[in-house]
């Protein structure tokens, strides 16, 4: 199937062609026909599968066919609610790209910055509003936003809304929605709370599920290093020094941990920046902007802040800390290997993280290849001769820090 087979409006096809899109991803292929028919949708899929285009393209197609924009002041016809500022900005950028040959206009609102510019943009009139829950409720309560003309609603990353404590805000927003609307609900996981939330929002709906293992096994080359807590920083520096030209996203489980990694890398003369919830919006946008344009090669992120990071040619993801929720691993490594690209995801595993690794392998239904010996094995919790096993398909030698020159460099560094 191609996008042309979906019989989309010519301006949208022109924009997709300009973006280099010809064939839809699995979720796009399944979701777009459902949405073009006007049905509600429950999508179970993680970040990196092409969700934004899956809901953005049909919404734009509907609005363009209605040809109502431009007659008087624009009214909000479509609403996308998403948990983080970064993801909201990313979605708005995608809407702008897909609608560049149409008269349709979107804007994005989020907290952490003054509301004046956002209010001014709303007052000029928009067709599509992308918003985080807190700022959306604030501006609704102040009378700047009305849903009287709303026809299309998307709740994206619903499980992340729950994790971030937005569930009550989201319920308040749902309660204000007009009854006659098309509703789209996306979540990577479906715990009971999220199932109940979807039932409040959706009418008769169709379901599309993209399984996590489809995203991890096929495109992303994976590997795991056994390493002690004390040697994690040394191994990270070693890997980054091997790939100085590559864009690398490093995941930390905590905000404090992310800041600590930046300090460690700074001492090693490796420029990096951290993004997490305690950083200001300006700091987060600066770091993300530099990472996207290539002037910053190493970005340290927590899981919540990483939602919405969409970087072309991201070569490597490093799990400095293994996540304690196995689905999060899929989200993380989905930052690389997007669309038709391939990528590499390397993980560090301490002794007390081994149960996390076991849960991850159970979820993705494959063993993450063990990377073998490396210069910082001392103190690593290795059992059952794991390092002597040679699973199929492990990352190639260029990623394995085991050559003599590497060992000599690190011995010299440790003497300094």
d(CA 407, CA 329): 30
Residues 161 and 28 in one domain: yes
Residue 413: its pLDDT value, please?
41
Domain end call among 162, 186, 210: 210
Q: Are residues 61 and 140 in the same domain?
A: yes
Cβ-count burial 251-269 (b if 16+ within 10 Å, e if not):
bbbebebbbbbbebbeeee
Same-domain pairing of 314 and 329: yes
Interatomic CA distance for residues 328 and 415, integer angstroms: 38
- CB neighbourhood size of 369 (10 A): 17
Same domain? For 165 and 219 the reply is: no
Contact 157, 174 (CB under 8 A): no
Residue 388 has a pLDDT of 37
Q: Do both 20 and 134 map to the same domain?
A: yes
* Same-domain status, 66 and 113: yes
- Predicted confidence at residue 21, as pLDDT, reads 86
Residue 318, pLDDT score: 95
267-279 pLDDT tens trace: 999 999 998 877 7
Q: Which domain does 335 fall in, by range?
A: 214-415
The label of the residue with tokens 């946008």 reads 285
In 3D space, the residue among 147, 134, 153, 132 whose CA is nearest the CA of residue 202 turns out to be: 153
Q: What is the CATH number of the domain that holds 119?
A: 3.40.50.300
pTM of the prediction? 0.65
**Does residue 137 sit in the same domain as residue 281?**
no
Specify the pLDDT at position 284: 80
304 and 382, same structural domain? yes
**DSSP code per residue over 259-297:** HHHHHHHHHTT--EEEE-TTS-HHHHHHHHHHHHHTS--
Average pLDDT, the chain: 84
Mean pLDDT calculated for residue range 243-253: 90
Judge whether residue 85 has pLDDT over 70.
Answer: yes
Return the top range by mean pLDDT from 239-253, 302-316, 369-383: 239-253
- Pair 206, 313 in one domain: no
- Is residue 401 predicted with pLDDT exceeding 90? no
CB-neighbour burial class of residue 210 (10 A; exposed 0-12, middle 13-18, buried 19+): buried
Question: Same domain for 285 and 202?
Answer: no
Q: What average pLDDT does this structure show over 126-132?
A: 97
- pLDDT number for residue 93: 93
Cα distance between residue 172 and residue 218, in whole Å: 40
* pLDDT at site 116: 94
Return the minimum-mean-pLDDT range out of 162-166, 223-227, 307-311, 346-350: 307-311
Give how far the C-alpha of residue 244 lies from the chain's centroid of Cα atoms, to the nearest Å.
24
């Amino acid at each position: 199937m191609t996008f042309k087979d979906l019989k989309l409006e010519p301006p949208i096809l022109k924009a997709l062609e300009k973006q280099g899109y010809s064939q839809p991803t699995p979720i796009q292929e399944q979701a777009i026909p459902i949405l073009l028919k006007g049905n509600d949708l429950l999508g179970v899929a993680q970040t990196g599968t092409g969700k934004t285009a899956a809901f953005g393209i049909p919404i734009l197609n509907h609005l363009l066919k209605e040809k109502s924009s431009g007659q008087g002041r624009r009214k909000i016809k479509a609403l996308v609610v998403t948990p983080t500022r970064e993801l909201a900005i990313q979605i708005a950028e995608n809407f702008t790209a897909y609608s560049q040959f149409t008269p349709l206009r979107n804007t994005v609102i989020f907290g952490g910055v003054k509301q004046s510019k956002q209010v001014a943009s709303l007052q000029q009139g928009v067709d599509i509003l992308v918003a985080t829950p807190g700022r959306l409720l604030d501006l609704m309560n102040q009378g700047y936003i009305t849903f009287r003309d709303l026809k299309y609603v998307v709740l994206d990353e619903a499980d992340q809304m729950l994790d971030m404590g937005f569930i009550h805000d989201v319920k308040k927003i749902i309660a204000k929605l007009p009854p006659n609307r098309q509703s789209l609900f996306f979540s990577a996981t479906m715990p009971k709370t999220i199932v109940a939330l979807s039932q409040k929002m959706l009418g008769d709906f169709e379901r599309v599920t993209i399984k996590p293992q489809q995203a991890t096994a096929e495109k992303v080359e994976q590997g795991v290093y056994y390493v002690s807590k004390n040697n994690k920083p040394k191994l990270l520096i070693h890997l980054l020094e091997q790939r100085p030209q590559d864009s690398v996203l490093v995941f930390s489980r905590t905000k404090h941990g992310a800041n600590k990694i930046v300090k460690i890398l700074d001492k090693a003369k490796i420029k990096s920046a951290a993004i997490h919830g305690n950083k200001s919006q300006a700091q987060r946008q600066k770091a993300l902007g530099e990472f996207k344009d290539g002037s910053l090669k190493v970005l340290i992120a927590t899981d919540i802040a990483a939602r919405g990071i969409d970087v072309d040619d991201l070569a490597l993801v490093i799990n400095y800390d293994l996540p304690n929720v196995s689905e999060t691993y899929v989200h993380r490594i989905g930052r690389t290997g997007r669309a038709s690209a391939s990528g590499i995801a390397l993980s560090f595993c301490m002794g007390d993280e081994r149960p996390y690794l076991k849960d991850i392998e159970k979820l993705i239904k494959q063993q993450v290849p063990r990377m073998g010996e490396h210069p910082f094995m001392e103190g690593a919790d290795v059992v059952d001769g794991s390092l002597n096993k040679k699973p199929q398909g492990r990352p190639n030698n260029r990623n394995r820090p085991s050559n003599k020159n590497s060992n000599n460099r690190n011995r010299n560094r440790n003497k300094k």
